Structure 1
Amino acid sequence: MDRYSEITNKNQREIVLLKGFPCVWGKCSFCDYIEDNGTQEDEMNRLNEQVLANITGKYKVLEVINSGSCFELPKATLWRIREIIKEKGIEKLFLESHWCYKNRLQEMRDFFGIPIIFKIGVETFDYTFRNEFLNKNAKFQDYKELKQYFDSPCMMVGIKGQAKEMIERDMAIVEANFDHATINVYVNNTTAIKRDEELVTWFVEKYAYLDKDPRFEVLYNNTDFGVGD
């Protein structure tokens, strides 16, 4: 499992994949990422300390991810991240959170004391597909409500059951309204949700121009950021 990497093309930054407690929701139908969590706090802190020791501060930007939300990281790990931010001169931080923590984001902003880009797993702006088929439990009505709290939606394309029209609508919303977003091309995993190869081929061809847009990061594989397994 790779837990430290550098993103050197768009939005250059260091990125670490840490261990946290189980995801507060943990019921998304497509996700087996939540298996990378734990309950033994001392062990998690020791592992996280080893991963965090790789940070150099060379880009002045850091992204911290785990198998859920940043609020599920152990307290000692959060304190160590804050120390490293000061030690290494980090000026901007990327964090991710589930919708259910939307009213607590300011806690993290206050704690770390630097600008934070908050990511959220949206997957799609289609309310029914997001909450009934994908079981996200992210029950905002539209992008305007989302933007009241979060800065950067993480979208997903290429799932059997999606339609081209749904993806086109999602991309139009993202391109018109967000300064940063991640688009994940779905890769089969251990869940029952399957990849639609025809839809993926269509998306890759139609939206190839996103690769040159500095606002958006398209992940064609789960490990394109250099972390994970």
Structure 2
Amino acid sequence: MDRYSKITNKNQREIVLLKAYPCVWGKCRFCDYIDDNSRDKEGMLALNREVLSHVTGEFGVLEVINSGSCFELPEETLEDIRNIVREKNIQKLFFEAHWIYRKRLDEMREFFGIQIVYKTGAETFDYDFREHYLNKHADFQDAEELSRYFDSPCLMVGIKGQTKEMIRNDIALLKRYFKLGTINVFTNNTTDVKRDEDLVKWFLEEFQYLEEDPSIEVLYENTDFGVGD
């Protein structure tokens, strides 16, 4: 399991994958990442400190991810991150949080005292598909509402049941309401959600131009940021 990497193309930054307590929701139909969660506090703290020891601060930007939300990281790990931020003169943090935490986002801003870019797993702006099929438990009504809280949504494409029109609409809304975004091409995992190969092929051809868009990062594999397994 790789837990430290550098992103050197778009939005250059260091990235770490840390361990945290179980995801507050943990019932998304498509997600088996939560297998990386833990309740072994001492084990988490030791692992997270080792991973954080690789951070150099060379870009002045650090992204911290875990299999859930940043609010599920141990308090001691958050203190370790804050120490790294100060020691390495990091000016910007990327965190991820579930919609459930939307009213608490300023807590992290106050704790760290620097700019925080909040990502969130929107998956799609199609309410019915997101809530009734993916079971995301993120009941925002539209992209505008999500943009009131979060800076950078993560979308998924290539799932059986999605349509070309849904994907076109999702990307149009992403560009309209957000300065940054991530698009994940779905990869089959241990869940019953399945990849639509024809839809993926269409997406890769139709939206090839996103490779040149500095505001959108497209992940063709789960490990394209250099972390994970």
TM-score, structure 2 length as denominator? 0.99
Task: Quote how far apart the aligned CAs of 1:12 are.
Answer: 0.2
Structure-1 separation of matches of 2:201 and 2:79: 44
Structure-1 separation of matches of 2:134 and 2:211: 26
Letter in 1 for 2:86: K
Task: Quote how far apart the aligned CAs of 1:50 are.
Answer: 0.1
Deviations 1:157-199 (A, max 9, x none): 0000000010010011011221100000000000000000000
Structure-1 separation of matches of 2:178 and 2:198: 27
Deviations 1:60-101 (A, max 9, x none): 000000000000000000000000000000000000000000
Q: What aligned pairs does 1:1-12 form with structure 2 within 5 A after superposition?
A: 1-12=1-12
The question of 1:42 aligning with 2:42 is answered: yes
The question of 1:174 aligning with 2:174 is answered: yes
Q: What aligned pairs does 1:1-229 form with structure 2 within 5 A after superposition?
A: 1-229=1-229
Alignment gaps of 5+ in structure 2:
none
Q: Name the SS for the 2:22 alignment partner.
A: coil
Task: Quote how far apart the aligned CAs of 1:143 are.
Answer: 1.1
Stretches of 4+ moved more than 3 A in 1?
A: none
Structure-2 separation of matches of 1:22 and 1:34: 7
Task: Quote how far apart the aligned CAs of 1:125 are.
Answer: 0.2
Equivalent pairs, count: 229
Q: Name the SS for the 2:110 alignment partner.
A: helix
Structure-1 separation of matches of 2:146 and 2:180: 13
Letter in 2 for 1:2: D
Identity of aligned residues (%): 65
Structure-1 separation of matches of 2:226 and 2:149: 28
Letter in 1 for 2:142: D
Structure-2 separation of matches of 1:27 and 1:164: 26
TM-score, structure 1 length as denominator? 0.99
Alignment gaps of 5+ in structure 1:
none
